[in-house]
Amino acid sequence: MIKKLYVPFALLISLMMASFSFAQEEGVTRLEFAKKVLDMTKYELSSESASMFGDIKNPSDIPYANTASSYGLIKGYENNFFPDSKLTKEQSIVILVRAMGEEPFAQQMSQDKIESLLKFTDGSAISSWARPAVAYLVENGLLTATGALEPQSIASSSYADGLYSKCKTFFDSKLSKEGYSAALLLDKASKSIEKYNTYKFKGDMDMDTTVTAPDENNKTVTENTKMKMVQEGIFEKPEKIYVKSTVTMIPMNEKQKEELGDMLEQSSELYFDGQRYLMKTSLEDSWLELDITPLIKQLQSMTGSSSMNSQGITREQLELYGMYAQYGTDETVDGRDCYIVNVELDSATFNKLMKQIMDQTMDFYKNSNLQQLDQEQSEMSAQEMEEFKTTLSAMFSNMNVNVSYKFMVDKDTLEYRAFDMEQKMDMSIGDIKTSTAASGSYEYYDFNKPVEFPQIKESDIKTVEQLDTPEQAN
């Protein structure tokens, strides 16, 4: 009897073990993986009690789903997170690359390089949106491109855990400082300045511009201009700011010096108190009130800046501009040990955004009374002024910009204090080509210390309309 029961009993145990094993390996869900990858680095869990998704009801799950979505790690669809949906292998790979902050680097790989790395027997089956991330893991030895990947198959718990463990080790040893990716540290450091009620800033920039154009005899002529700009400013919450800029022209020859005359050095002041924009130049005694608040708000929205207190570069702006953040070699700056975060801008993404900004600015200009200001300060005729604006707009539409930043983040406070920048801008229209190279350094200091703004009397303020109004005789 016992012998007769042994075979079916053993078979039952085998089936139960097989079923248990299958249940354990049936796949990892979106919510489970979200909770796991948020431990990859120091993501701050959302404190919002309201769920961003209609299918996330459990209060303990809400912070994870909200945070994973906010950081762009796992995004929902049409107000749903689909927490119980199983992840495929390629989905889990993309999420891990995002969690490490390396997706921008993966996406800048050339197609030839990606194809050379994806030597899986089923490499062609990998979805186009996942190919850069898979190639990134292969390039860094986190995934071996042999045999079949089966990219659309469900990622088992053991597969996801094993890949996570490799990525976590790689992240901790190669990509992070104090548990932060370069992008996340820069985001934290940039936003930290918003807690201060007051601060000062200063900086300088050297600019070298070369213009190549035909002369009246159709002979190509090249003219070079050098200038230095120095800026100093103060800020006070909520949105009070004052900036003084001084531009010094550096003549390249005696002829240029003579042409510049008393324009060798010019200065301008800008004051904004949350309601009014006032500007004053070294050529004027009065402050000019500019009605540009709508334009500033539009540009802030386009550039991911929430207020005049937005300094540095946030995570949202990194994504918007197509920037790549990575750590450089640590440095000591003014006696303080600092982490260095280098940021490169994807030129195609940045150029597209810059053109949108220029279009927005030109549209605002055409529909405002600012043209009157230009005409007042220029000897050009109305027709010449319009031709100049058309030329300028055309040049901006044929613009190419490359920008890189070097941010210094205090190791003790993890606060952003200063940055260096390099910029190269080329514009062309027809036979006219303009190339500008600029380099500068800026720093922020005297946090929460008293600041003093210029005292501006109402009698010292003019509007654009008042420029044409003759002053009353005494």
Top pLDDT among 238 and 87 is at: 87
Helix 382-397 × helix 347-366 angle, to 10°: 160
pLDDT reported for residue 193:
84
pLDDT tens-digit readout, 36-85: 999 898 898 999 899 999 999 999 999 999 999 999 999 888 889 999 99
CA dist 338 and 409 (Å) reads 5
Higher pLDDT, 375 or 355: 355
115 compared with 394, residue with greater pLDDT: 115
Task: Please tell me the predicted confidence (pLDDT) of residue 16.
Answer: 35
| Higher pLDDT pick, 3 / 319 | 319
pLDDT bin (cut points 50, 70, 90) of residue 15 is very low
pLDDT for the residue 297: 66
> How many angstroms separate the CA atoms of 310 and 297, rounded?
13
Mean pLDDT of 86-94: 95
| pLDDT at 21 exceeding the cut of 90 | no
Residues 6+ apart with CB under 8 A from 300: 306, 307, 310
pLDDT range class, residue 385, cuts 50, 70, 90: low
Choose the weakest-confidence range: 21-35, 61-75, 189-203, 225-239: 21-35
Query: Of all residues in the chain, what percent carry a pLDDT higher than 70?
Result: 79
Give the residue carrying structure tokens 């490490």: 100
Which residue, 126, 129, 131, is CA-closest to 152?
A: 126
Instruction: Evaluate if residue 10 carries a pLDDT over 50.
Output: no
The pLDDT value recorded for residue 276 is 86
Q: State how far the alpha carbon of 256 is from the alpha carbons of 220, 248, 250, 379, in Å.
A: 18, 13, 9, 20
Query: What confidence tens digit (pLDDT) does each residue in 236-285 have?
Result: 998 899 999 999 988 888 877 777 777 788 899 999 988 888 989 888 88
Task: Pick the more confident residue, 443 or 254.
Answer: 443
In DSSP notation, 217-244 reads TS-EEEEEEEEEEEEEEEEETTTEEEEE
pLDDT of residue 139: 96
Position 2 confidence tier, pLDDT thresholds 50, 70, 90: very low
Residue 33 CA to its chain's centroid (Å): 27
More confident residue, 4 or 228: 228
Sign of the C-alpha dihedral computed for residues 27, 97, 108 and 401 taken in this order: positive
Mean pLDDT of the chain: 82
Q: Please say if the pLDDT value at position 165 is more than 70.
A: yes
Mean pLDDT of 432-458: 92
Residue 291 banded pLDDT, cuts 50, 70, 90:
confident
Average pLDDT over residues 378-393: 60
Amino acid at 369: N
Residue pair 205/228 in contact by the 8 Å Cβ criterion: yes
pLDDT in tens, 27-36: 899 999 999 9
CA distance 76 to 82: 7
Structure tokens at 233: 């400013």
What pLDDT digit, counting tens, does each position of 129-162 carry? 999 999 999 999 999 999 999 999 999 999 999 9
* Half-sphere exposure for 321 (CA within 13 Å, toward CB): 24
